């Protein structure tokens, strides 16, 4: 460690003394805060004028005082902190790990008040980190004391207990908060953390993909959707299945997007321009909704997704006055999964006779609950299940425990799903939750999150379209133009999910008989001796322009299956 002078751009000495130090194996040069006086020599090691030597002594005394205090505290960071103060003129402020959430939520934002959902997510993410760090490294009470090893251990705990999406959200939140409140010059321990996509790649792509519907399953979903809750979701579901559009894009589909038998719009996620033909099932749905008095084709779901802002809301009003109707995107997902469960299984009804829980059912239920993560939820579930097995009704359990009726019902339904057996007594409201969990969710592999993955939600309709189209021989370039994907890799990796029967059918149609034992479909000759591939390209161009006749549309369907 030594005092040094630094030259400026013109080759002259700068006006301040600098300290050249090595901290944690890294060289750092900071201004000491003492001006250089008098005439400097050609080399710093040589003696200068009397005023110069006085300024040198003042700088050395100040540096020695810092060193003594630093060694007394035993923290190399103390030296850095004081040098930074000299450089910036501002005292370094440290934020405690326990105060990080309050500091983050207290930052001024141009968007105004934070939503209740975001606030809840922040408290959950920061709270989980504070609790973990208190056990893993209790000495790290300030942000700059958190090390990359602490973050690595926290990540491992996250990916073992929550879904990849939740883990990614928490890590991004903490990375941003640390970057905002760490002192200048301190490395952010969350920089370089593996994101959700990198986690999938590093673990060999163990993410759970959506499951496509078969044509028969999709037909049953359409039928149930027409009768479920007045058919509100029938049109949006048909639109999503026939266009491969995402849920938000379907909800925000405008009449101005439809022209000449085509849908031309930009995707909300990537901003890519897509062009999609309007097939007959979707055309019938759109025709039913003409003249609905809204800019949206499906205004009911648009309102449910976005909510209805209160026009009289003013800054300073409470959050309860912000909305006339609050956004409810989860309600759309729940209704869709409800339709899927009813379409793909026989949903239970309130009139079905269900025997009271037997001793075997009770034993199986208690064993299943015991395998759940320890905590308040497991204890309450076990209490409710025991009371129910002893003959108490839902109302009696609610009165005796003070738990909410919906919570009691959900816990009993969870136990039904765990043991795959219904035991809720007849005369009580039907509960379709077990069927929804069984048909729309899938367990993750060990080490890839505690929560199950959603495999049949709105996005499964997009997967279904891509899988059926590619399996039928539709060229990948046309599929990309419909879905708005920029690369073929994304389509093939995340959306093309054929089952074994589809694989076999596609390969049998193109491989020679010597390999499959069956004659391949091969390429047929189109009009005027042209190959089907050339005809397909011509028809595709007409499709994009909206100039196809009914006969040409039928021909396109046939040709696309042969190429």
CATH assignment at residue 232: 1.10.443.10
In a domain, 185, yes or no: yes
**Using an 8 Å Cβ cutoff, are 128 and 120 in contact?**
no
Query: Are 82 and 109 in a shared domain?
Result: no
- Which pLDDT belongs to residue 351? 40
Query: Are 232 and 337 in a shared domain?
Result: yes
Task: Say if strands 26-35 and 258-259 run parallel, antiparallel, or are unpaired.
Answer: unpaired
The residues with which 263 forms a beta bridge, in sequence order, are 258, 276
Query: Are 84 and 113 in a shared domain?
Result: no
Query: Are 227 and 325 in a shared domain?
Result: yes
* Token digits of residue 235: 């049109």
Query: Are 63 and 105 in a shared domain?
Result: no
In a domain, 246, yes or no: yes
Domain end among 88, 115, 133: 88
User: For the chain, which residues score pLDDT lower than 70?
Assistant: 1, 23-26, 66-92, 110-113, 184-185, 192-208, 319-320, 346-356, 425-431, 444-451, 486-537, 540-541, 543-546, 548, 550-551, 553-563
Q: State which residues form the domain around 57.
A: 2-88
What is the distance between the alpha carbons of residues 180 and 143, in angstroms, rounded to a whole number? 11
Query: Are 29 and 127 in a shared domain?
Result: no
Task: Say if strands 262-266 and 26-35 run parallel, antiparallel, or are unpaired.
Answer: unpaired
Query: Are 332 and 238 in a shared domain?
Result: yes
**Using an 8 Å Cβ cutoff, are 218 and 241 in contact?**
yes
**Using an 8 Å Cβ cutoff, are 196 and 205 in contact?**
no
Query: Are 308 and 220 in a shared domain?
Result: yes
In a domain, 51, yes or no: yes
In a domain, 517, yes or no: no
- Which pLDDT belongs to residue 190? 87
Query: Are 239 and 333 in a shared domain?
Result: yes
- Cα 473 to Cα 54, 215, 443, 502, 561, distances in angstroms: 86, 16, 32, 11, 5
C-alpha distance across the termini of the chain, in Å = 74
pTM for the structure as a whole? 0.52
What is the distance between the alpha carbons of residues 130 and 107, in angstroms, rounded to a whole number? 20
Q: How far is CA 163 from the centre of its chain?
A: 9
Query: Are 105 and 83 in a shared domain?
Result: no
Query: Are 138 and 192 in a shared domain?
Result: yes
**Number of folded domains that form the chain:** 3
What is the distance between the alpha carbons of residues 101 and 127, in angstroms, rounded to a whole number? 8
Domain end among 88, 118, 145: 88
In a domain, 298, yes or no: yes
Burial class (CB in 10 A: 0-12, 13-18, 19+), 492: middle
Q: Which candidate, 530, 529, 536, places its Cα nearest to that of 561?
A: 536
68-77 pLDDT, tens digit per residue, is 665 544 445 5
Query: Are 197 and 133 in a shared domain?
Result: yes
In a domain, 65, yes or no: yes
94-120 pLDDT, tens digit per residue, is 788 999 999 998 888 765 667 777 888
The region that residue 238 occupies, defined by phi over 0 for left and psi between -120 and 50 for alpha, beta otherwise, is alpha
In a domain, 228, yes or no: yes
In a domain, 532, yes or no: no
Domain end among 88, 119, 136: 88
**Using an 8 Å Cβ cutoff, are 123 and 129 in contact?**
no
Q: Where are the alpha helices (DSSP H) in 162-208?
A: 164-181, 196-202
Which residue in the block uniquely carries the two structure tokens 């986690």? 199
What is the distance between the alpha carbons of residues 399 and 405, in angstroms, rounded to a whole number? 9
């Amino acid at each position: 460690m030594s005092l040094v002078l630094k030259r400026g751009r013109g080759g002259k000495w700068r006006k301040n003394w600098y300290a050249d130090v090595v901290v944690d194996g890294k060289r750092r040069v900071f201004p000491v805060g003492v001006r250089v006086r008098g005439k400097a020599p050609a080399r710093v090691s040589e003696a200068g004028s009397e005023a110069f030597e006085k300024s040198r002594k003042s700088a050395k005394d100040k540096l020695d005082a810092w060193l003594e205090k630093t060694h007394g505290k035993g923290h190399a960071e103390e030296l850095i902190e004081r040098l930074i103060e000299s450089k910036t003129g501002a005292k370094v402020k440290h934020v405690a790990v326990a105060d990080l959430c309050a500091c983050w939520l207290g930052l001024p934002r141009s968007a105004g008040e934070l939503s209740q959902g975001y606030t809840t997510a922040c408290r959950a993410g920061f709270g989980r980190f504070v609790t973990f760090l208190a056990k893993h490294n209790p000495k790290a009470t300030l942000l700059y004391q958190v090390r990359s090893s602490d973050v690595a251990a926290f990540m491992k705990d996250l990916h073992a207990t929550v879904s990849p999406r939740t883990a990614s959200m928490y890590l991004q939140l903490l990375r941003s908060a640390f970057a905002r409140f760490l002192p200048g010059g301190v490395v952010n321990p969350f920089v370089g953390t593996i994101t959700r996509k990198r986690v999938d790649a590093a673990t060999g792509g163990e993410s759970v993909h959506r499951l496509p519907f078969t044509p028969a399953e999709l037909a049953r979903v359409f039928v149930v959707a027409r009768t479920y809750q007045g058919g509100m979701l029938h049109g949006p579901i048909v639109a999503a299945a026939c266009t491969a559009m995402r849920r938000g894009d379907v909800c925000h589909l405008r009449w101005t997007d439809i022209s000449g038998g085509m849908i031309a719009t930009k995707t909300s996620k990537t901003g890519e321009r897509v062009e999609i033909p309007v097939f007959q099932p979707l055309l019938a749905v759109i025709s039913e909704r003409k003249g609905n008095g809204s800019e949206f084709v499906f205004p009911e779901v648009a309102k449910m997704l976005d909510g209805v802002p209160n026009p009289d809301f003013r800054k300073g009003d409470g959050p309860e006055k912000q909305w006339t109707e609050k956004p409810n995107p989860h309600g759309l997902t729940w209704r869709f999964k409800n339709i899927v469960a009813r379409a793909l299984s026989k949903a239970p009804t309130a009139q079905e006779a269900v025997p009271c829980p037997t001793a075997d059912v009770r034993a199986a239920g208690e064993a299943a609950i015991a395998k759940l993560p320890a905590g308040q939820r497991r204890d309450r579930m076990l209490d409710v299940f025991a009371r129910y097995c002893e003959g108490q009704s839902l109302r009696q359990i609610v009165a005796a425990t003070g738990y909410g009726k919906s919570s009691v019902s959900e816990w009993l339904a969870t136990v039904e799903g765990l043991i795959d057996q219904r035991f809720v007594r007849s005369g009580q409201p039907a509960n379709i939750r077990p069927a929804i969990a069984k048909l729309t969710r899938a367990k993750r592999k060990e080490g890839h999150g505690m929560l199950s993955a959603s495999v049949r939600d709105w996005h499964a309709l997009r997967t279904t379209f891509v899988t059926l189209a590619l399996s039928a021989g539709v060229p990948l370039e046309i599929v990309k133009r419909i879905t708005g994907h920029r690369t073929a890799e994304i389509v093939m990796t995340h959306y093309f999910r054929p089952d074994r029967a589809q694989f076999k059918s596609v390969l049998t149609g193109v491989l020679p008989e010597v390999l499959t034992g069956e004659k391949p479909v091969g390429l047929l000759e189109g009009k005027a001796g042209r190959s089907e591939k050339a005809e397909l390209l011509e028809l595709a161009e007409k499709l994009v322009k909206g100039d196809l006749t009914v006969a040409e549309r039928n021909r396109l369907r046939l040709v696309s299956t042969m190429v």
